């Protein structure tokens, strides 16, 4: 197992557009790493003004008529977050003199196995105040202020009717905003490969290694399997760019948008990373050296570090520890449960109440996202209710004031499928087809179910912080993972961290399946739904794809059967229940005839 320098063994991934937009300000001083979404520069500008006022810092607005305003807004906000985190971290370290409880909170939340905690316990009564303060200044570690870009959310932008160069596309500008900031942290690239954006990275010196293999700014790739990691890692290495972390995310057992793989399950995927980790480093490092030589860049004297992290559906201490110890991952992501931790995330009271009471059937895969990707949704969230009311009034769709999803060119000009303009045009087209009533209703509902999540995923921030609404509407979209069904009460940060590290247990239900088994159930459900969608017509290609999916699930069950039978994955009771569930799942799959 790699020696862990970071104080914590978990990280908080990006959540929606606004739920974690200021999470580093709330948790980084305690050594906890978290991630900010860079989608909405308008919301980012509002949060910059909010925090400038809160910390008595002069706020100079960056209006939309400013040249390169999107990138400049993001840079300004990230620099502000960095200032505030450093200030709060210094105050925490000085707590040894002021006797506040912040320093105590820092160490209480650390895992018992953390070297930092062990050392502090050893010296705290041996050192005087000055010695202790000096030790803290040298050894205490703040959490990283990471950022996230959905690489495919890279809409073209215009100045009037003139199309701007590609570097002014949404994702490109967001990336530039981070690259120009004074942060030393990681850019998380999610939602698949964007070659144009990947090529853009090589323009920024902060992403190249020094002679010791260290970086001012790092790249983290969110991937669903080993093959994807290898392909993308090699592609970037040819540009002289090193991927410092591969973040494996479950295809279905996660929050937000869902990127379904061909039945690849988390266990077998992590096993492949475990078995091939050294080869991954070696093969990509060789490509990196060649690229750096061609660019006359510094060649590191050894391969830079690579981390493997994982997230999606993890909900207990035993699951957390199993991932760390069996698969040797460096960090485990916990997102959905933190939606019930007001200290950490921006969630309004009404949505918190819905999340607390949510059961399995309230958490479902939907087609509401205008991005054309399946989206984890919470039934009866206020944004969906707002949309349904508009549909009932005969005015479906949204005004589309953000336009981040406006990349559908079906009607010529780029529009968002959740916009009122697009939906009205599609409905007019539908009406001209003279369909029977049942078919018309099905197709009509497909059009109007699209919701403006660009607004909805940021509205809770405005509500919680009493920030002004303009044209947004007040409905809140939220995208928890299926594991929310097992978390049912509002928690403090310390309570949540204590749960992660096994000091307490906040899950009251006793019927929660192991997260590997939960993911398997979700995949079987998805498999059956795909069959129903295509029950009348199977192309040869689709049939072959479904056969591969079926076989992949059966291979995964075989792998899990060996794992549960031969290793202590969880408690004996959970293991026996999981083995029984594997038999049940295998029977369900074998019953499916293609």
CB 232 within 8 A of CB 151: no
CB 475 within 8 A of CB 383: yes
Q: Which residues contact 525 (CB under 8 A, 6 or more apart)?
A: none
CB 33 within 8 A of CB 11: yes
Distance CA 133, CA 91 (A): 12
Domain 10-339 has CATH 3.20.20: yes
pLDDT for the residue 574: 64
CB 477 within 8 A of CB 350: no
Mean pLDDT for the stretch of residues 542-558: 90
Residue 5 tokens, joined: 């320098």
DSSP structure class, residue 332: E
Q: Which of 18-27, 117-126, 147-156, 453-462 has the lowest mean pLDDT?
A: 117-126
CB 586 within 8 A of CB 560: no
pLDDT digits (tens, 9 = 90+) for 248-303: 999 999 999 998 877 789 999 999 999 999 999 999 999 999 999 999 999 999 99
Distance CA 19, CA 39 (A): 12
SS3 313: coil
Sorted by where each begins, the domain ranges of the chain are 10-339, 365-477, 513-594
pLDDT at 144 over 70: yes
Distance CA 110, CA 283 (A): 35
Q: Which residues pair with 221 in a beta bridge?
A: 189, 246
pLDDT for the residue 1: 37
CB 151 within 8 A of CB 197: yes
Residue 463 tokens, joined: 């509500």
Per the prediction, the chain carries an average pLDDT of: 93
User: Could you count the other beta carbons within 10 Å of the beta carbon of residue 390?
Assistant: 18
Distance CA 581, CA 55 (A): 53
User: Could you count the other beta carbons within 10 Å of the beta carbon of residue 308?
Assistant: 22
pLDDT at 534 over 70: no
Look at the alpha carbons of 440, 442, 448, 454 in this order and tell me if their dihedral is positive or negative. Answer: negative
Q: Which of 193-202, 404-413, 481-490, 510-519 has the lowest mean pLDDT?
A: 404-413
Distance CA 131, CA 386 (A): 59
Task: Give which of 248, 245, 249 is closest to 306, Cα–Cα.
Answer: 245
Distance CA 398, CA 416 (A): 9
CB 28 within 8 A of CB 81: no
Residue 403 tokens, joined: 């336009």
Distance CA 566, CA 573 (A): 15
Q: Which residues pair with 147 in a beta bridge?
A: 36, 187
pLDDT digits (tens, 9 = 90+) for 332-360: 999 999 999 999 999 999 999 999 999 99
Q: Which residues contact 504 (CB under 8 A, 6 or more apart)?
A: 495, 498
SS3 256: coil
Task: Give which of 556, 504, 511, 535 is closest to 268, Cα–Cα.
Answer: 556
Distance CA 569, CA 366 (A): 32
Mean pLDDT for the stretch of residues 481-489: 97
Which has the higher per-residue pLDDT, 382 or 573? 382
3-state secondary structure 501-520: CCCCCCCCCCCCCCHHHHHH
Which has the higher per-residue pLDDT, 240 or 124? 240
**Which residue has 């959970």 as its token pair?**
574
CB 15 within 8 A of CB 344: no
pLDDT at 472 over 90: no
CB 266 within 8 A of CB 516: yes
Render 126-141 in DSSP notation, one character per residue. TS-HHHHHHHHHHH--
Q: Which residues pair with 365 in a beta bridge?
A: 376
Distance CA 216, CA 199 (A): 19
CB 121 within 8 A of CB 161: no
Mean pLDDT for the stretch of residues 567-588: 80
């Amino acid at each position: 197992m790699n020696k862990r320098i970071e104080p914590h063994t978990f990280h908080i991934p990006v959540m929606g557009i606004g739920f974690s937009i200021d999470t580093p300000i709330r948790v980084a001083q305690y050594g906890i790493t978290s991630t900010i979404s860079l989608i909405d520069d308008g919301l980012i500008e509002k949060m910059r003004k909010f925090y400038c006022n809160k910390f008595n810092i002069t706020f100079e607005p960056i209006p939309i008529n400013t040249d390169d305003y999107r990138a400049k807004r993001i840079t300004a906000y990230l620099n502000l977050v960095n200032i505030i985190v450093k200030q709060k971290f210094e105050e925490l370290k000085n707590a040894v003199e002021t006797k506040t409880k912040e320093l105590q909170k820092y160490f209480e939340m650390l895992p018992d196995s953390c070297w930092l905690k062990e050392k502090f316990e050893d010296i705290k009564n041996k050192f005087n105040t000055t010695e202790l303060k000096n030790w803290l200044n040298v050894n205490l570690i703040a959490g990283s202020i990471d950022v996230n870009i959905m690489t495919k959310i890279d809409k073209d932008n215009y100045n009037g009717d003139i199309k701007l160069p590609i570097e002014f596309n949404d994702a490109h500008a967001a990336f530039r905003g981070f690259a120009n900031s004074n942060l030393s942290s990681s850019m998380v690239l999610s939602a698949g490969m964007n070659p144009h954006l990947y090529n853009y990275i090589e323009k920024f010196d902060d992403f190249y290694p020094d002679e010791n293999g260290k970086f001012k700014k790092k790249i983290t790739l969110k991937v669903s399997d080993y093959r994807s990691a290898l392909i993308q890692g090699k592609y970037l290495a040819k540009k002289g760019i090193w991927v410092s972390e591969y973040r494996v995310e479950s295809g279905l057992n996660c929050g937000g948008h869902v990127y379904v793989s061909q039945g690849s399950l988390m266990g077998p995927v992590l096993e492949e990373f475990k078995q091939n980790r050294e080869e991954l480093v070696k093969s990509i490092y060789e490509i990196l050296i060649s690229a750096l030589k061609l660019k006359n860049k510094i060649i590191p004297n050894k391969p830079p570090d690579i981390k493997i992290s994982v997230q999606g559906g993890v909900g207990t201490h035993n699951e957390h520890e199993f991932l760390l110890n069996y698969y040797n991952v460096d960090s485990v992501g916990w997102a959905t449960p933190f939606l019930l931790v007001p200290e950490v995330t921006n969630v309004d009271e009404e949505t918190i109440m819905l999340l607390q009471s949510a059961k399995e059937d309230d958490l479902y895969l939907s087609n509401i996202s205008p991005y054309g990707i399946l989206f984890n949704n919470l039934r009866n969230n206020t944004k969906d209710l707002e949309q349904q009311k508009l549909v009932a009034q005969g005015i479906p769709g949204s005004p589309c004031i953000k336009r981040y999803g406006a990349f559908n060119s079906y009607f010529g000009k780029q529009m968002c499928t959740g916009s009122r303009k697009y939906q009205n045009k599609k409905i007019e087209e539908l009406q001209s087809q003279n369909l029977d009533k049942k078919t018309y209703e099905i197709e009509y509902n497909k059009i109007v179910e699209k919701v403006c999540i660009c607004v909805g995923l940021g509205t809770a921030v405005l509500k919680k912080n009493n920030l002004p609404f303009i044209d947004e509407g007040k409905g809140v979209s939220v995208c928890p993972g299926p594991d929310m069904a097992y978390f049912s009460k509002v928690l403090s940060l310390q309570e949540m961290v204590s749960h992660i590290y096994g000091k307490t247990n906040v899950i009251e239900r006793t019927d929660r399946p192991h997260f590997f088994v939960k993911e398997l159930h979700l995949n079987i459900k998805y498999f059956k739904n795909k069959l129903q969608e295509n029950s009348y017509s199977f192309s040869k290609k689709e049939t072959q794809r479904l056969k591969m999916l079926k076989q992949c699930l059966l291979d995964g069950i075989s792998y899990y059967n060996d794992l549960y039978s031969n290793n202590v994955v969880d408690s004996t009771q959970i293991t026996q229940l999981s083995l029984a569930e594997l038999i049940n799942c295998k029977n369900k799959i074998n019953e499916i005839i293609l």
